Amino acid sequence: MGQNAFDQKKNAILEEINSTDLDLSPKGTIDELCLPIMKLINSHRDMVTTSSCSGRLSVFVEGNKVHNKTVKVGGKGDGGKWLFVTHNQDEVLGWLNNLENKNTYFQPILTPNSTPGSDGSTRLILYKYEPFILHVKCRDLESASALYNVAMSCGFRESGIGSNFIVAIRINIKLDVPIGYVDETTDAYNLLVPLTYIELLDQLTFVKFEDNAKKIQYLYNKIENEIINHPIQNVATTQKKEVETKEDRRIRKRKEGLERQRRALEEKLLKQDTANIV
């Protein structure tokens, strides 16, 4: 049977997902929480997942932001680095205490006078919670719209269809908080907030991990009920997509011919048997 561009791409992506555990994120593997919903979506003949993150807490030190005279807030810049990243809710509370070399990293300064310069070039330490995100390449507008609509109905209100019918499934339950800055003279990491404030952020993040997991499960159920187990829509999509090539038709006709011959032969043999019995 002929294979079109989408099917080829889908097979290549699935091979990659199955053959390697590496991706481009700092973690380097596909998040466990994503696997069931990825598997579900990939079971649909018109969809294939292309990238995913199950949700994560990250603490990031901005790089050198003055570059070609432009200042970029929140960018990775030169020399930016992650202090801490986790996709695991259980690693959220107390991450700061568990941090290796904590004492060399942080010199908490809690008085109101301790603030970085206001010229915009200060390298900030950012505390970020980023929720689940999933990209799914779909065969056509019909399948992309179906997935988009289900995602929106589950509260993933920042979803959208992009180029080549790639659906981005996104939700807005972020945190993005500067918690410290780099003292450029000593390279020390100084806190801008009380330690108890970071504990509060951790509590909020802990709850967000929970909300996020619930949302993924809700999305899983809706995709299963409204797209995967929706025979009418699936059949309609399938029938419409199957454009039979000449070669396919030749093979089908030959199979049908052989099937007819086989049945005729069976009937003949059956009649003989019946005749013998009678």
Nearest by Cα to 135 from 99, 167, 164, 107: 167
Region of 77-85, 190-198, 247-255, 262-270 interacting with a second copy (CB under 8 A): 190-198
Burial of 225 from C-beta contacts in 10 A (0-12 / 13-18 / 19+): exposed
Does position 28 bind a second copy by CB under 8 A? no
Rounded to whole angstroms, the Cα distance separating 208 from 56 reads: 10
Report CA-CA distances (Å) from 183 to 86, 141, 228. 26, 51, 54
Q: Where do runs of H (alpha helix) occur along the chain?
A: 5-19, 35-42, 95-98, 102-105, 141-153, 195-223, 231-241, 246-277
Of 141 and 269, nearer to a second copy (C-beta) is 141
Tell whether residue 141 is a contact of a second copy (CB under 8 A): yes
110 near a second copy, rule: CB under 8 A = yes
Spell out, one character per residue from 72 to 101, where the chain touches a second copy: x when CB under 8 A holds, - when not: -xx---------------------------
Q: What CA–CA distances, in Å, run from 159 to 18, 135, 151?
A: 26, 10, 7
Site for a second copy in 192-221 (CB under 8 A): 192-197, 199-201, 203-204, 207-208, 211
Least distance from a second copy to the Cβ atom of residue 33, Å: 19
DSSP-derived pairing of the beta strands 81-86 and 70-71: unpaired
Strands 66-67 and 70-71: antiparallel
How many Cβ atoms are within 10 Å of 269's Cβ, its own excluded? 10
* Segment interacting with a second copy (CB under 8 A) among 47-55, 176-184, 225-233, 261-269: 176-184
CB-nearer residue toward a second copy: 73 or 264 = 73
Q: In the bound complex, what is the minimum distance in angstroms from residue 19's beta carbon to a second copy?
A: 29
Q: For residues 115 and 221, which CB has a smaller minimum distance to a second copy in the complex?
A: 115
CB of 124 to a second copy, least distance (A): 8
Strands (DSSP E) found in 91-164 = 124-138, 160-161
Q: Pick from 13, 161, 213, 228: which binds a second copy (CB under 8 A)?
A: 161
Residue 240 found at the interface with a second copy (CB under 8 A): no
Q: Which long-range contacts (CB under 8 A, 24 or more apart) does 75-83 make?
A: 77/123, 80/123, 82/26, 82/58, 83/59, 83/125, 83/189
When asked if residue 68 is in the footprint of a second copy (CB under 8 A), the reply is no
In whole angstroms, what is the distance from residue 200 CA to residue 107 CA?
19
**Binding window for a second copy (CB under 8 A); candidates: 17-25, 51-59, 98-106, 151-159:** 151-159
**Quick check: 175 binds a second copy (CB under 8 A)?**
yes
Which amino acid is it at 223?
I
The smaller minimum CB distance to a second copy, of residues 88 and 153, is found at: 153
Q: Which residues bind a second copy (CB under 8 A)?
A: 71, 73-74, 110-116, 118, 120, 141, 145, 148-149, 152, 158-163, 168, 170, 173-178, 192-197, 199-201, 203-204, 207-208, 211
